[in-house]
Each structure stands twice: as C-alpha cells, then as structure tokens.
A and B are shown apart, each in its own frame.
Chain A
Amino acid sequence: MDEIRATAGRLNIDLSSVDLDSIRLPSGEDFGVVSDDEDLKEDDPLEFEAGFGNIIVVDNLPVVPKEKFEKLEGVIRKIYSQIGVIKEDGLWMPVDPETQKTLGYCFIEYNTPQEAELAKEKTNGYKLDRSHIFAVSMFDDIEKFMKVPDEWAPPETKPYTPGENLQKWLTDEKARDQFVIRAGSDTEVLWNDARQSKPELVYKRSFWTESFVQWSPLGTYLATVHRQGAQVWGGATTFNRLTRYAHPQVKLIDFSPGEKFLVTYSSHEPSNPRDTHRVVINIFDVRTGKVMRDFKGSADEFAIGGTGGVSGVSWPVFKWSGGKDDKYFARIGKNVISVYETETFTLIDKKSIKVENVMDFCWSPTDPILALYAPELGGGNQPARVSLLQIPSKEELRQKNLFSVSDCKMYWQSNGDYLAVKVDRYTKTKKSTYTGFELFRIKGRDIPNEVLELENKNDKIISFAWEPKGHRFAVIHGDSPRPDVSFYSMRSGTNTGRVSKLTTIKGKQANALYWSPAGRFIILAGLKGFNGQLEFYNVEELETMATAEHFMATDVEWDPTGRYVVTSVTSVHEMENGFNVWSFNGKLLYRIMKDHFFQFLWRPRPPSLLSPEKEEEIAKNLKKYSKKYEAEDQDVSLQLSEQDREKRKMLKEEWDRWVSEWKRLHEEQKLERQTLRDGEASDEEEEYEAKEVEVEELLDVSEEVISFD
C-alpha cells in the first residue's frame, strides 16, 4: 500500500478520489501479485508451463513474396487447425522489411500446451514439398537452443549418489515382517514384533493415499492411489516417494510379478449415456515412470470371458506370466487370447492366438504356460475343453475334452507343479450339477491327467486350495450348515503318480481355506455367517493344533514366512474394528483395536536366495540354529521384565508420593474440618463402635377381659 501512495504522490494524484475497488486489471495481467488461488495450483503435480508453452515455431517454410502470403498462410492454417484450435490471431508469419518476403518461419499459438506439443510431434518432419520439410520446435525450446555454445564441451559427470537400498527391511536383525494398515485417514507401516507382543511403528502418514494402498509383489514398493494417478514409495523405514505415474481417475492398479511394470486402469463415463464406459489402461515402467504402452477402448472389449457367473470387466485385465522376468502378459478377447511380450510391447508374432469360444485363461505361476478353458459350442457339436499352451511356441502341450459341462474353474499350484480344474457337470436329467476335479501333473511326461470325484458326488464344493509349495490340497464340501473338509495328496504312499485322500474332517464351521505360505499348516476359517471361527490344523500330522475365535472377522492373512497369522475386522462392520495377531499354531499374541479399519496387508518378501540343498541342511540342523535364537529370546524377555519392573517401581513411587501428600494435607486440615462440623470429632471410620441397641417401642396397649370359667 505504501508503494501505491508513493507512486500516487509522484504522479500528483489524489488517492482519496480514486476508487480502488473499480480498478480492473487488463485480462491476463496480474502485475506480479500472487492471487489467493495461485498457491493452490502450486501443489498440483500436473504442472502447467507458464508463459509461452502453447506456442510453436515452424521453420523451413518457403520464402514467398507478398502475393503468395495468403495462400501459404491458408495452407499452414489448414494443416495446423486439424490438430488443435489455433488461437484468435495465433498465426503469425513475420516478413523481412527489406525484401518484403516471408522469413521462412512462422509462429502458431494454441490455447493449451498439450495441443502445441501434439502439433510439434505430428508435424515435425512433414514434407510440404520436396525441398521444404517442416522443422517444428516449442517456442520455449528456442531459447534453450540459442544457449548452446559453439564449442562442444564434454558433459559434466555428476557424482554418483547411490539411491537408497530398497531391500534394507529384509535385513532386520530380529527377522521381523512389516505390514501396512489403513484406519480412518491414517496409513501406518509397522513391524510385527511378536517377542514384545506389540507392533513397532515404522512410518505413519495421514492422507497418504486417496483410496487404497498396495504392496508390489516382492515387497519393494508401496503404491498409493490418487485422483491424478498412482505413486510408489519405498525404503526400509523412510518411505520416500520414488516415482509418480500420471493416470487421471485411476481406479485399480496391478504390478507385474517381477515389479518391472505397473498396470493402471480407469473407467470413464461416456458422454452419451447409452454408450458403454470408456476404459483406459496404461502400462508404466516402474523405475522410470515412462508409459510403455496404453490401451484404450470401450468396456465391452475388456469384459469378455469370466467364469462362475462373473461378467463385466474383471481385474486384472492383463495377466502376467509367472517368474521374475515379466516376459509376457496376456488378455482375453472374443475368441482370442492376445499375448504380448515386454521387449517391444507388441503381440508375439504380431497377432493374437485364436481360441474359439475361449472363456477363461490363466498362466502357470512359474512357467510360460497358459491354461485355457472354452465351454461347449454349437449345442453339443464341439465339447468343452481345457488346454495347456506353451508360450511363445504356441504348442499345445495337453488338451482334454469335457462333456456335459456347466462351468469350470482353474487352480494352479504355487510351484506350477499341478493344475486342478474344478468341473461342474449336469446330471443326466440336466436338473442339477455335480462336481469333479481334473488333475494335471505338469512336470510329468506328457502331463498325465487324473479325474477325482468326491465320495459324495452331489456335495457342493465351497472352497478349494492347493498347499503352497506342496503336493496336497484341501476342499470344503457339503450341503449342510456344517460342511466337511477333505485333504488329498497328489502322491499316495510309494506311488507318486496317483492322487489319494488323506482324511476328511466332518461338520466344521468353515467356509474358507487359508494355507500357510510355507505349507504344512492351514486355517479353516468360518467368516461371514460363522462369525469368525478359526481352526488351526496341522496337515502333516492330520490333527488340530488349536481352535479359536475372532468375532466378526472378515479377513485372514498369513505373514510371508508362515510364522504368524492376522485376522482382522474391517469397516464393513461398525464395531470391533481392528486386528489380532496369532502364532502359526493358534496362540493369540496380541490384538490392536482401530476404528474405521480398512486394510491390512503384510509386506511380501522376495523368494529366498537359498538353494533347496541349503534349505534342507538348515532344516536338518535346526536344533543348532534354534539354540542361538532361544538364548536371544531369553535375553530379550529378561531385559523386558527388568524394564517393566523399573517402570512399575517408578509408577508406584510416584503414587506413594501423592498418597502421602494427601494424608499430610488431610491431617493438617483436620482441625478446620472439625470446626466446619461444629466441633464434631474425628472422621475416621474405625472410630465408631457398632452397638446393638434394643429399642422397645410400645405399639399398643389393649385390655381384654378374659372370663374364668
């Protein structure tokens, strides 16, 4: 304000006669005064270039005399109007004042920098005629080019600053695992410290994500999802932002198994309500943030297939082949499977694989093999079939025709050793279905196949799960409110080629199976209707280790090592939100309550670096190793109890201090209290005697005359 006064004084203007409120700035000018709205824009990660970002310079134009001006201008305008809307008076061809001819270049101004960029990309190198090829640059770049020195100087080598070791969390001395939880508006990453029976905070942040968080498959990154796109954060304890991926209105994300690529998906409302939604899928390189490929289309194109009565776009649309190489990814289309490879991000052999009537597909978790299912076609002319396809050769390794099929679901075992196909078949009357399993041994010669039917064929299959890294699987089946659970092995006794039943446990309150990631142990969980019944079962010994309950539990998650299990109640329920941490054999270690609990996710671990031989050696010498850890455990618990004792002692001393202070004050004020009570003596409880006093109350006196006779 002082500046204004000083300036007014200089110009001899009487400020009081100036109506400051009626001043209107020329449009577009702000005289350098930052308006209140501007700092909002500063936080916006999508930056708009200020200044001349929407102007391009087109060079190598023909030099024409005055007469041809309009014609040339018209041609230029026609070309560039197709790309975007040229601003009013946005096309300027400067003229040499001496020769009255054009200088051979022109400026074009668009309304947005995006249009300008697009114009530059599309027209750079455009052949107007044989001797005039457009050279298009952004106006802002010209300044940069002008600064290029005439002498070439070798570029400075920047000193190498090593990035943070993103795998550091794996080297935790106490071998703890991390997990992320989302409750309310906070997202926290914590260590599971079972020894101390409580989690230890690693990193906490409010409003870290706008919708959900997700770990990358090997645990290196934590991804958060926002309105403008996704971001990944990493590190053992620091969780710095590593990369951003712009994808407006992204809804879902998926990492490739080797963490090289990130797939993001969004679905947009069509402008015409009768059209289907528009789907945009981007595939980014995780480390650089560069878009490797994008896919755009209507939701119909991406909603093909799906079994089990599921329709619509099911995520993930692109399924990755197994293993850390991230070599192939595929999606299902109408009668085709499109398999892409990640060298060039194009279809292998430049075309999709034709599979007539294909409904579902899935990759082996370890090898580049696709399992495909196509239902019956043509009213019985072509039966339903399951086939296994080798990529990239497209050789059909195995195929099986199935008859009277109503539906099919495929389950791979985690090592890619076995494939189970659950087949629902119509009975002869077609009124009901019964289920059987087609079991394929992938590693066997010619991929042998076996059919398994339950003892009671009509039992409904409620759940099926392979033992991770093992040769067993579990099935929950039955129609009663307490179904049965059966365990099978792909080996039987000495014969490793035939499936056999291990046992059936009857009448369990279970509707979901959760194997430990290391195998051997399983939790039979009764979620939803069973309100959180948990049975911890040892499949090696075929016996129950413990039964427990987590009332209203909605999710069960094993930690990546298989030592601990977490059951949680998410905000689907109003009350009891929070999670419980159990040991693998069913002992409750601790529980944390958190209102508005949304997510619990363990941080995944990359596969062990030990060879199978080394693992066997460790298992054999377990006693030797465990001695060392037991000693450590002892030390820690002793130390803890010492600490606890100290703390308790301190608290007790503090309390005693308060009590003695109160007693002292009470004594001091005794006299005052007596006066308040008009001299009534002491107030100690003990100072009264209880005397039993008999009080005779005369109720009534009446005379009655009794006659003697």
Chain B
Amino acid sequence: MRPILMKGHERPLTFLKYNREGDLLFSCAKDHTPTVWFADNGERLGTYRGHNGAVWSCDASRDSTRLITGSADQTAKLWDVQTGTQLYTFNFDSPARSVDFAVGDKLAVITTDPFMGLTSAIHIKRIARDHSDQTSESVVILKGPQGRINRAVWGPLNKTIISAGEDAIVRIWDSETGKLLKESDKEDGHKKPITSLSKSNDCSHFLTGSLDKSAKLWDSRTLTLIKTYVTERPVNAVAMSPLLDHVCADRELN
C-alpha cells in the first residue's frame, strides 16, 4: 500500500467520498470548491465552482453522473460530475451540512444547522431524473434534535433516516411520515457529541464516532448497540471496511 499525496485544497478538508465503482474520489474542504480525483493515480480531474462557503459533505449518485454537495453558504447544490456544471441549487435559511442520496437516487436527505433562532432540521428532497424538472420542494422536513446534526443518512430500502449530532443521541425517523421511530438509549449511547457516522455497504449497520473517546457499531433496523470501541482520544471520523472486518477511527491529536 503506497500512499499518494494529493494536494489541491487551500484549506482544511471536511469530507471524502468514493463513487460506487471506486475509481473517483470526491473531496470537500473549507475552501468552497469540491474537487474530483482519479482514485488510482491521484490525478485531479476538476473542481466544482459555485459555492460561497465551506463545503461540509457530498454524495455521488450510483451511476456517478450526479454529485450533491452541502455548504455553509446555506445551499445544497446538484452538479453534473463530468462537466462540472451546476444543475440545481436548494436554498435554505441556515448552513447546510450533511447530504446523502437514497437508493435509486430519487431522493436526497440534507441537514441544516441551527442558526439565528432556527433549530436544526433534516430535509428530504425529491431528485428529478431530468434536472430541468427539479423543484426545491421538500417531501418532508424533520425537526427535533437539539444542537447541530452532524450526519444524516438513509436507512435500508429508504424507509428510514438515521441522524446523529451534538446531542449525542442517534435517531431513526420514518422517511415518509417524518415521525421519530427510535432513539438511542441514554445508558449505552454516546455521552458526548457524535462527530461522524458511516454506513456499511448494505446499510444494515453503521458506525458512530464521538468526542467521548469511543466509536459504536449499531444495527440500522433495530438501533441495537452491537459493539463499542474505546480509544484514548476523542474520535473525529469513522469509516468501515467494505469487507466488514475492520473499522477505522480517526482520533484527535493534541
């Protein structure tokens, strides 16, 4: 395993995502321009210009033609991956943070931060096949968590949304009705803000990492705590190996 150094962002990186086939790597940073790279040799393909604030996360569609990004400039944008053109902009009243395509890419979930009296919220938007038909209408808006929601993703079969954030509670919502289905137990759950969440390939389980120096593995359908990994430092990011054998937790260094 030889590391390749890819330089291109002027400010700290916030998010990385491979496309489904694994040949493209999308990177988001605080410098407003998400970038796409070839995964095998690290060659930079291009940047997506248009955001006016730090880009917090992104997701690629299954066929790698569409990219959705969430940014602190209170917008989430849809891009054409190959050409880099902006296809659509979703406007919000507060900074957008986490974005995730549903299975089939017909829906996307976008979270917004608490801002100026507004609480944080989870928005589900319909994504049209043809971007000219795209509207900014939300299918459902979920509210409730206190503090920032750091990550929200789709559960298996798009039936649920799983969210985790600063209030250290993992929540499962019904994606059609917007009702809160489950909450993680105060006893086994995290004790400090959850900084990151990562799904397994088949969405059946996911990993959360938190400032309370631990990472926890949960079942997506029942929100049962399966395992806890204790580290010596607060955890900033987690990722799961597709082979289900290993998990990786990034710790904070002082």
**Chain A residues proximal to chain B, CB less than 8 Å:** 575, 593, 655, 658-659, 662, 665-666, 669, 672-673, 676-678, 680, 685, 688
Residues on A with C-beta less than 8 A from B226 are: 655, 658
Q: In the complex the two chains form, is B103's CB within 8 Å of A677's CB?
A: yes
Cα(A658)–Cα(B103), bound, Å: 22
Q: Is B44 an interface residue (CB 8 A)?
A: no
- Inter-chain contacts of A677 with B (CB < 8 A): 62, 103-105
12 A-B Cβ contacts within 8 A?
A658-B226, A662-B200, A662-B204, A662-B205, A665-B156, A673-B103, A677-B62, A677-B104, A677-B105, A685-B21, A685-B242, A688-B21
In the complex where A669-B156, A669-B157, A688-B21 touch, is A676 in contact with B104 (Cβ < 8 A)?
Answer: yes
In the bound complex, residues from chain B placing their C-beta under 8 Å from that of A676 are: 102-104, 106, 157-158
**CB nearest neighbor in A for B62:** A677
Secondary structure dominating the interface of A: helix
Other 5 A-B pairs with CB < 8 A, given A665-B221, A680-B62, A688-B21: A593-B232, A669-B157, A676-B103, A677-B105, A685-B21
* Most chain A CB inside 10 Å of its own CB: which residue of B202, B221, B244, B254: B202
Q: Is B219 engaged at the interface, CB distance under 8 Å to the other chain? A: yes
Chain B interface (Cβ < 8 Å from any Cβ of A): 21-22, 62, 102-106, 156-158, 200, 202, 204-205, 219, 221, 226, 232, 242, 244, 254
A662 to B22, CA, bound (A): 23
Q: Given A669-B157, A676-B106, A677-B104, answer yes or no on A662-B202 (Cβ-Cβ < 8 Å).
A: yes
How far, in Å, is A333 (CB) from chain B's closest CB?
A: 52
**In the complex, chain B residues whose CB is within 8 Å of the CB of A669:** 156-157
Min distance, Cβ A452 to any Cβ of chain B, angstroms: 47
CA distance A646 to B221 in the complex (A): 29
With A666-B202, A678-B104, A688-B21 known as contacts, the answer to whether A658 contacts B219 (CB < 8 A) is yes
Q: Nearest-CB distance from B119 to chain A (Å)?
A: 31
Q: Which residues of B lie under 8 Å from residue A685 when comparing CB positions?
A: 21-22, 242
Residue of A nearest to B204 (CB): A662
A213 to chain B, nearest CB (A): 27
Q: Which residues on A sit within 8 Å (CB–CB) of B21? A: 685, 688
Q: Are B104 and A658 in contact (CB under 8 A)?
A: no
Q: Which B residue's beta carbon lies closest to that of A666?
A: B202
From A658, A673, A678, give the contact of B157 (CB < 8 A).
A673
Give 6 nearest A-B pairs by CB, closest first: A662-B204, A676-B104, A677-B104, A666-B202, A676-B103, A669-B157
Minimal beta-carbon separation of A657 from chain B (angstroms): 10
Partner of A575, one of B62, B204, B242, B254: B254
A575 to B233, CA, bound (A): 11
Chain A residues with Cβ under 8 A from B205's Cβ?
658, 662
Return A665 CB to nearest CB of chain B, in Å. 7
Task: Report how far A678 CA is from B202 CA in the complex, Å.
Answer: 18
A658 to B202, CA, bound (A): 13
- A234: shortest Cβ distance to chain B, in Å? 35
Known: A658-B219, A676-B103, A688-B21. A665 touches B62 (CB 8 A): no
Report how far A665 CA is from B158 CA in the complex, Å.
14
Residues of A within 8 A of B244 (CB): 659
CA distance A672 to B242 in the complex (A): 22
Complex contacts, A688 vs chain B, CB 8 Å: 21
Query: Complex: how many Å from CA A593 to CA B21?
Result: 43
Query: Of all chain B residues, which has the CB nearest A677?
Result: B104
Distance of A673 Cα from B62 Cα, bound (Å): 13
